[in-house]
Amino acid sequence: MRWPILAQVLVPVAALMLGAFGLGTWMAYAAAERAIRQEVEAQVRNMAGVLGDVPFPLTASVLQQVKGLSGTEVVVIAPDGRCLSTLPSVSETLLAAVPMEKDEKAFRLSDPVLIGDETFLLSGVQLHTSRGDKAGLLILLYPYSRWQHALWEAVRPVLAIGAAGGIVAVVLAILIAARLSSRVRDLQRRTRMIAAGDFGPMPLPLWNDELRDLAASVNDMAEQLARLRDTVQKTERLRLLGQLGGGLAHQLRNGIAGARLAVQVHLREHPELDNEPLDVALRQLTLVETHLHRFLDLGRTEADSQRLLSLPELIQEMLQLLKPQARHHQVELTWNRLDGGTQDQQHGDETKGGQHESPALWGHPGSLSHLLLNVVQNAIEAAGRGGSVEIVTRHENGHHVVEVFDTGPGPDPRIADRLFEPFVTGKPDGIGLGLAVAWQVAQSHGGNLSWFRTDNRTCFRLVLPSAEKYLSQTDS
């Protein structure tokens, strides 16, 4: 059974107000009845005392004047049986129903009694002379209608205030419940929009309460879902890339292997010829074949294929493959190792400084080599003829940091925010997969790949956890 918020708020408030109104009415009625009875009894008691002490005989005209002043019917029965009354007639039933008191101090009104067509509250008292002799009976009849009118006048203000307060309370309860229901419906609409794929934030309510906190939590959830959706889309694109490119890479590798073998055979059969152009072609074929091997290895990053690696060895291997390309483009390629304030540099084929032990790296060798090749080769192409590329490596806070600086103009501003998305490129002949694959490899190894501009240079910054840190995080 559906139980709306409006009903949940209104029904208990209405029930509480009705109970309080009923209890207040009953208490006001009881108090007013008690006060009015005491007041009327005191009034009638005083009247009985006055009539019992009058020095002149009580006549019918005197009794009518008393009735006019007090509104009370008066019956006097003399000792000789004579009856004076403001009533049209006095019956034996009336005399039998009157509670008689010894004196006016004990005078009390009876319960309502029907006399003819009218109801009275009545009581009687024995009158005495100054010598103490009986002077007859005095019976006073107070009209019950006057009693009820006085009681209503006393209770009516309490009823009016209680009814007004109840109406105000119910109206406020309706307004509060309607406001809460409206805010809950806003949250309901927002969650349906999120379910439909709209992850934009909703405006937060002005009131700082629990519903505002809930709306903020919904916005946080939508933001996380948006990031998760983007990650899933990127991962799905890369998965499709692996499926579609795997077959093509196998075919290209076979063709390149055949072309490289033909060049090698030609070099062996004609050693007397100028072989420099063929040596360049052979190195380029070897580089392309290495790229294809790295690409095919991206899909083989299972835990059993990962092992301890040396980052300097990976960089040395990458430099051996890219030095010919750097010389061809007339780009100065430099590697600076910053460990404990010392520095190693590699310019082309020359190495200066000794080797420094570096903490091990845990990962898949093919994937990480492919990552470094993509980033550095992209920097060489971006630097252009006469430019320079500087590779800076260091270890800090349990992480390997590799920064690749180039003197190129930097990414196109139109794609700068989406540089690591698949198929996003600023090159006329590019397809936008190198950096996307590199970013994915960094993420899969617990690291991160980012870029920024500094001192008119573009820097791609790779951060990877050391083997010890990566394995401790995996175990936890």
Q: Is the pLDDT of residue 340 over 80?
A: no
Q: Is the pLDDT of residue 111 over 70?
A: yes
Mind listing the pLDDT tens digit for each residue in 354-400? 445 667 888 888 888 888 988 999 999 899 899 999 999 998 888 99
Q: Is the pLDDT of residue 343 over 70?
A: no
Listed ranges 56-60, 98-102, 120-124; the one with the highest mean pLDDT: 120-124
Least confident interval from 49-58, 154-163, 222-231, 265-274: 49-58
Q: Which has more pLDDT, 238 or 331?
A: 331
Architecture of the domain spanning 303-475: 2-Layer Sandwich (3.30)
Q: Is the pLDDT of residue 194 over 80?
A: yes
Rounded to two decimals, what is the model's pTM?
0.45
Q: Which has more pLDDT, 303 or 118?
A: 118
Query: What is the pLDDT, as a whole number, of residue 390?
Result: 95
Binned at pLDDT 50, 70 and 90, residue 402 comes out as very high
Binned at pLDDT 50, 70 and 90, residue 134 comes out as low
Mind listing the pLDDT tens digit for each residue in 85-101? 888 777 766 666 677 76
Binned at pLDDT 50, 70 and 90, residue 59 comes out as confident
Residue % of the chain over a pLDDT of 70: 78
Query: What is the pLDDT, as a whole number, of residue 249?
Result: 64
Binned at pLDDT 50, 70 and 90, residue 165 comes out as confident
Query: What is the pLDDT, as a whole number, of residue 347?
Result: 43
Listed ranges 70-74, 256-260, 411-415; the one with the highest mean pLDDT: 411-415
350, 293 contact by CB (below 8 A): no
Enumerate residues 6+ apart whose C-beta is below 8 A from 57. Answer: none
Q: Is the pLDDT of residue 131 over 80?
A: no
Average pLDDT over residues 104-111: 70
Mind listing the pLDDT tens digit for each residue in 272-293? 776 777 777 777 777 777 666 6
Least confident interval from 137-141, 216-220, 359-363: 137-141
Does the domain at residues 5-157 carry the CATH identifier 3.30.450.20? yes
Query: What is the pLDDT, as a whole number, of residue 246?
Result: 61
Binned at pLDDT 50, 70 and 90, residue 401 comes out as very high
Query: What is the pLDDT, as a whole number, of residue 354?
Result: 40
Residue % of the chain over a pLDDT of 90: 11
Binned at pLDDT 50, 70 and 90, residue 350 comes out as very low
Q: Which has more pLDDT, 422 or 412?
A: 412
Mind listing the pLDDT tens digit for each residue in 422-439? 777 776 666 667 788 888
Query: What is the pLDDT, as a whole number, of residue 117?
Result: 80
State how far the Cα of 95 lies from the Cα of 87, in Å rounded to an integer. Answer: 13
Query: What is the pLDDT, as a whole number, of residue 142?
Result: 81
Query: What is the pLDDT, as a whole number, of residue 405?
Result: 96
Average pLDDT over residues 2-27: 77
**Per-chain mean pLDDT for the chain:** 78
Q: Is the pLDDT of residue 352 over 60?
A: no
Q: Is the pLDDT of residue 302 over 60?
A: no
> What sign does the CA torsion over 363, 367, 369, 375 have?
negative
Query: What is the pLDDT, as a whole number, of residue 348?
Result: 41
Query: What is the pLDDT, as a whole number, of residue 32?
Result: 79
Least confident interval from 42-56, 116-130, 305-319, 342-356: 342-356
Q: Is the pLDDT of residue 324 over 90?
A: no
